[in-house]
Chains A and B, each alone.
Chain A
Amino acid sequence: MAAPETEDSETVPRPAMEKPEPAVVAYWRISGIVSALILFGMIAFQGLFFLWADNPEVGLGIVGVAGVLGALRITWVLVTTRLRYRRLEFTIDAVNLRVRHGVLVHREKTIPITRLQHLDVDRGPLERLFGLASLSVFTSGGRAATFRIPGLTPTRAEEMRGQVLAIADDAR
């Protein structure tokens, strides 16, 4: 089987891709575990009501299923985060934003900076705990045409914001 990827990288020199902070792996793990605990904890909590009432079989069943699903979800998160980190890379050249990501389905997104509509720097509570920020660049194409990079240092996020805004400004 031919490997077209190598052919391509030979013909055109691509700018070096940048990676997010390695701390994002820990952040993904913690946030994945927390969100799984909240979601499946809520389901299990529903089960407790049945345990309380005189229907312990249903209650135990719900708690059990929630526990198993929660454990599976957490395992999946723990197993794939490293791979997810390895896959995630991005670059900003003078014209385009480019990001590659996706564990099972690989995605590569190219967005010209001139298409910028607005951009956000977000810092959630957990992100702040890890000293991280994320940058989102929105176009008029909706979610599929949004450039979103998690796991940046706040300074890098602001720097990138300035860089993108400057390019968008110069282009018109």
Chain B
Amino acid sequence: MHAEADDAALILEGRLHPASIFFAFLAGLRRTAFWLAIIAFQAVTADSFERVVTTLWLMALVTVMSLVGPVVQWLRYRYRLTSRELAIDSGFIRRQQRRIPVTRVQDLSFEAGPLHRLLGVVVVSVQTSGTEGAEAKLDVITREQGDALRDALRSLGGAVSPGHAPIEAAGEGASTAPALLSVGVFALILRGLTDNRAGLILAGLVGFLSQAMPDDDLSFFVKAWEHGRRLFAPIAGQGTFAIAVFVATVVAVFVLAGWVGSAALNVMRFYGFTLREDRGVFSRSYGLFTKRVHALPRVRIQVVRLRQTLLRRLLGLAELRTDDMGAGAEAKTAEAQGTDVFVPIASRASLTALLPRVLPEADVSRYHWTRTSPRIVRRSASRGALLGSALGAGLYGSVGLWALAAPVAIALLGAIWGVATLRTLTWAHDHEGLAVWRGVFRRSLVVAPASRMQALNIVQSPFDRWHGVATLIAIAGGGARVAVPNVPVDEARAAIRRLFPGRPQKSHIA
């Protein structure tokens, strides 16, 4: 158990405060409150004394049972800090020994509610740059223990939060650094108009119509038809043409409203967008009503994505997104605040020029781009044939021998799609990064620097094995993914050897 203690000096060790039993019990109580309430209700409404006694016994039993876990956890929980690592042993049924190297500790956060303060205890969360937030939670230890742990970690050189200081500095000094790029209102309106919101508009349309329809037992479309006829017939005469005009008008109005709404939303969110860089920290200030200054240190950027919808391609526009460390956990808030959008809209040329300044590894001109395996045509066609065979078998009953056309036609479509994919999917790598351009209609360029990569995976489905190809997936910090499909297995392995060389190398970032 203490095998590694001999070559690393023990600095401090400890266990949880007994109050942790109480807090864990409270937390458990909150989960079982519903059932306890039901039992209590039974006791209150019971008509016989005997039943009251039984329910009280039952409640006592539930209480004692829910104390067992917290007590055992308190008994088993030990933490100790050596000069190398923070070790936490816990669990009785499932025993766990967790080791967190001191150098990986990014921050300690302290949390104390009123009850905690009364008891002089604190919840200490140990944060590394992992995905799940806190890697360890000392819930609860005394404030003195917490301070001792923090001081010890600080003296060891851990528990420094490299991200924090520069973020504050950038927030203050945002106006001083020259702007790298700003986005005007017209560009934002264009962004709104080229957003792919067709699905949203359609959903809104259906929602409106289903609200507007009178309630009866007809199906929705019959209802819509009848309603349209009733509404429109007196004005423009009767007949199907009139109804078609009505429906087309409604759709047009909704599409227009969707466009206007989308444009307004984009202007509201990103108004006055300015990107600045100051000593390795990017800051983006934007917003019409809610103004935001969002700072992003370059070291936190894991993956860069340049995206073009079909409409934006026609206009030569693109947007730039970045995945940062918290991509997994904070994806929703990032989406809501637009913090994953690095540049909302700009011409593709200006964004391509900006890329090397965002990350040196994202300089697309440094790479030697290649296509993936031509086997994708065969793969796509054979998949089409298989799919078509299944469809043909299903259709055989109704169309007879014509069902034979299904596999041929779908295989042909598959082959065409395969050729289109082959011609649009290119990838590149050197020892510092992996990049891929993909998409037949919507195009996206994704770049991941090798220094941010946490794992490189080769994934081969049975279909892939049949055609001797694989998907190469790079996983960056925070779970950001870059996938290159349809790569010959040997090329994927060669890429891994280049990105993760076999010689010991100092990693560029922590």
Cβ of A4: which chain B residues have Cβ within 8 Å of it? 468, 488-490
> What's the tally of chain B residues with a CB closer than 8 Å to chain A?
60
Q: How far is the CB of A54 from chain B (nearest CB, A)?
A: 26
Q: How far is the CB of A104 from chain B (nearest CB, A)?
A: 6
Cβ of B63: which chain A residues have Cβ within 8 Å of it? none
- A7-39 CB mask vs B (1 if < 8 Å, else 0) is 110011000000000000000000000000000
* A80 contacts partner chain B, Cβ-Cβ < 8 Å: no
* B113 contacts partner chain A, Cβ-Cβ < 8 Å: no
Check if A107 sits within 8 Å of B478, measured CB to CB. no
Known A5-B489, A116-B101; contact A141-B456, beta-carbon cutoff 8 A = no
Task: Name the CB-closest residue of B to A167.
Answer: B504
Cβ of A162: which chain B residues have Cβ within 8 Å of it? 3-4
- Which of B101, B459, B468, B506 meets A2, CB within 8 Å? B468
Known A111-B454, A118-B135, A140-B128; contact A168-B98, beta-carbon cutoff 8 A = no
- Given the complex of chains A and B, what is the CA–CA distance between A4 and B477 in angstroms? 31
Cβ of A146: which chain B residues have Cβ within 8 Å of it? 455
Task: Name the CB-closest residue of B to A113.
Answer: B504
Which B residues, 452 to 510, have Cβ-Cβ distances below 8 Å to chain A? 453-462, 465-468, 473, 475-481, 488-490, 493-494, 496-497, 500-507
Cβ of B453: which chain A residues have Cβ within 8 Å of it? 115, 141
Cβ of A129: which chain B residues have Cβ within 8 Å of it? none
- Which of B455, B460, B462 meets A111, CB within 8 Å? B455
- A79-117 CB mask vs B (1 if < 8 Å, else 0) is 000000000000001111000000011111111101111
* B294 contacts partner chain A, Cβ-Cβ < 8 Å: no
Q: How far is the CB of B83 from chain A (nearest CB, A)?
A: 10
- Given the complex of chains A and B, what is the CA–CA distance between A96 and B477 in angstroms? 17
Check if A139 sits within 8 Å of B490, measured CB to CB. no
- B315-335 CB mask vs A (1 if < 8 Å, else 0) is 000000000010010000000
Check if B462 sits within 8 Å of A95, measured CB to CB. no
* B163 contacts partner chain A, Cβ-Cβ < 8 Å: no
Q: How far is the CB of B375 from chain A (nearest CB, A)?
A: 9
Check if A116 sits within 8 Å of B4, measured CB to CB. no
Cβ of A144: which chain B residues have Cβ within 8 Å of it? 455, 457, 473, 475, 479, 481
Which B residues, 224 to 257, have Cβ-Cβ distances below 8 Å to chain A? none
Check if B454 sits within 8 Å of A169, measured CB to CB. no
Cβ of B489: which chain A residues have Cβ within 8 Å of it? 4-5, 8
> What's the tally of chain A residues with a CB closer than 8 Å to chain B?
53
- Which of B98, B99, B101, B479 meets A142, CB within 8 Å? B479
- B142-171 CB mask vs A (1 if < 8 Å, else 0) is 000000000000000000000000000000
- B112-134 CB mask vs A (1 if < 8 Å, else 0) is 00000000000000001111100
Check if B103 sits within 8 Å of A105, measured CB to CB. no
Known A107-B458, A165-B4, A165-B84; contact A142-B478, beta-carbon cutoff 8 A = yes
Check if A117 sits within 8 Å of B100, measured CB to CB. yes
Cβ of A12: which chain B residues have Cβ within 8 Å of it? 493, 497
* B95 contacts partner chain A, Cβ-Cβ < 8 Å: yes
- B426-462 CB mask vs A (1 if < 8 Å, else 0) is 0000000000000000000000000001111111111
Check if B458 sits within 8 Å of A141, measured CB to CB. no
Task: Name the CB-closest residue of A to B128.
Answer: A117
* A53 contacts partner chain B, Cβ-Cβ < 8 Å: no
- Given the complex of chains A and B, what is the CA–CA distance between A1 and B4 in angstroms? 51
Known A4-B489, A8-B490, A165-B4; contact A94-B96, beta-carbon cutoff 8 A = no
Q: How far is the CB of B326 from chain A (nearest CB, A)?
A: 10
Known A3-B468, A95-B502, A104-B462; contact A140-B98, beta-carbon cutoff 8 A = no
Cβ of A109: which chain B residues have Cβ within 8 Å of it? 455-458
Check if A120 sits within 8 Å of B96, measured CB to CB. yes
